[in-house]
Structure 1
Amino acid sequence: MDMQSSLKIVSGDILSRFLDKVSDDPRICIAHLGLFAVLLKKWSEQGGEETLKIFAAQAMVYAKISSSNTYHRLIRELNEYGYLVYEPSFYKRKASLIRFIMD
């Protein structure tokens, strides 16, 4: 099996587990789902390494989020709710770090 096929299987598994978990979580809205899907896509594009490096503007475009306040609220909530680990960089030229929780 090639690397790309393996990444598709792993990302599909992460997405499936995420959707199973959020189905019973009333705090999660469609915007959280869209952002999580975009982050997973970007993670796969970067080769599926342990940590995703991403700038807010990159994710916002794909997730159709126009406000940076909304983006930061959603990503912080996904972190607080235990769906991913978010390490903001606080520097414009340095990407934030995101790790998916795979349990």
Structure 2
Amino acid sequence: MNYIKLLNAAFEKFYFDERLNPTHISLYMALFQEWNSSRFAPDFFVNRRDLMNAAKIGSKSTYHRCITNLDTWSYLEYFPSNNPYKGSKIKMSIIGTSDEPEEDHYDPKLEPLAERYHPIREQVIDQHCPTSGQALVSTINNTKPIKHNKHPNSLKVVLDFFSNKNFNLNYGKEFYEYYEDRQWQTSDGSDVRDWRALAKYWVEQKSLMKEKNKLNKKQASHFRDNLRTTKNKDYGQPL
């Protein structure tokens, strides 16, 4: 497992997932650290009190709501324990990582967040002088413009991308029409700056919704079968 790849993939997913609040992310990071401590084992056991303390969660109900949400939203699998001497089992999901470098993995849309806390506008001068008394100046050109993918020029460009990724082409058409109608802006009114990363998230959410609908239909069918009665049933007989 690559610690950096896993963490970057998780933060990329956080950015586009509007269901999350800071408590969800804080709890996920506490769990991620436990996962790292277990050398990224397939599953591991956790102590609720330790997790609440690490994530700075003061309410049991908030803890249970957040960890259940993370399970429902496929960030992890949660197996609660009824044994007070044995912690609950956690199985973390592997989010969008592979051994090979992924095309367009860098997401320029995350750049404004980084600049908010670490603004880069010009060359940085080291305020701590060495023994020679000469100030050190960074040789990195931080003013070099970054090429953004922004939005596609046509439906064909989107369909070609979906085809290369073996994605459902119907999802590609829906994706293009949805954001074209919104003038390629996100729900918060910001301009889309990397449509390829957004398209991958679109496919992921569509796939999850499809699986959820299948499960709901299966459960509904099972419920109807349980209610079905035969025509020959005699309701006059004593129970």
TM-score norm. by structure 1 comes to 0.84
Give the Å deviation of 1:47.
Answer: 2.7
- The residue identity in structure 2 corresponding to 1:70 is T
- Matches of 2:29 and 2:3 in 1, distance apart? 10
Say yes or no: does 1:91 pair with 2:98.
no
| Mapping for residues 51-70 of structure 1, pairs under 5 Å | 51-70=43-62
Give the gaps of 5 or more residues in structure 1.
1-6
Give the Å deviation of 1:70.
Answer: 0.6
Give the Å deviation of 1:16.
Answer: 1.4
Contact 1:11/1:40 (<8 A) preserved: no
Aligned length: 95
- Matches of 2:19 and 2:93 in 1, distance apart? 18
**One of 10, 35, 40 as aligned partner of 2:32:** 40
- Matches of 1:102 and 1:26 in 2, distance apart? 20
| Mapping for residues 66-85 of structure 1, pairs under 5 Å | 66-85=58-77
- The residue identity in structure 1 corresponding to 2:80 is P
TM-score norm. by structure 2 comes to 0.38
| 2:16 aligned counterpart, secondary structure | coil
- Matches of 1:47 and 1:93 in 2, distance apart? 23
Which residue does the alignment assign to 1:4?
none
- Matches of 1:64 and 1:16 in 2, distance apart? 22
| 1:12 aligned counterpart, secondary structure | helix
Say yes or no: does 1:15 pair with 2:32.
no
| 2:91 aligned counterpart, secondary structure | strand
- The residue identity in structure 2 corresponding to 1:14 is L
Work out which of the two has the higher radius of gyration on C-alpha atoms and give 1 or 2: 2
Greater strand fraction, Structure 1 or Structure 2 = 1
Q: Which has the higher contact order (CA 8 A, sep 6+)?
A: 1
Give the gaps of 5 or more residues in structure 2.
96-239
- The residue identity in structure 2 corresponding to 1:58 is D
CA RMSD of aligned residues (A): 1.4
Greater helix fraction, Structure 1 or Structure 2 = 1
List per-residue Cα deviations over 1:46-98 (Å, max 9, x = no partner). Answer: 23211121011110011000111111100000000111111111221111111
List per-residue Cα deviations over 1:7-26 (Å, max 9, x = no partner). Answer: 6xx23322211111121111
Which residue does the alignment assign to 2:93?
101
- The residue identity in structure 2 corresponding to 1:12 is I
Give the Å deviation of 1:40.
Answer: 0.8
Contact 1:15/1:37 (<8 A) preserved: no
Runs of 4+ in structure 1 off by over 4 angstroms are none
- Matches of 2:77 and 2:4 in 1, distance apart? 19
- Matches of 1:52 and 1:14 in 2, distance apart? 17
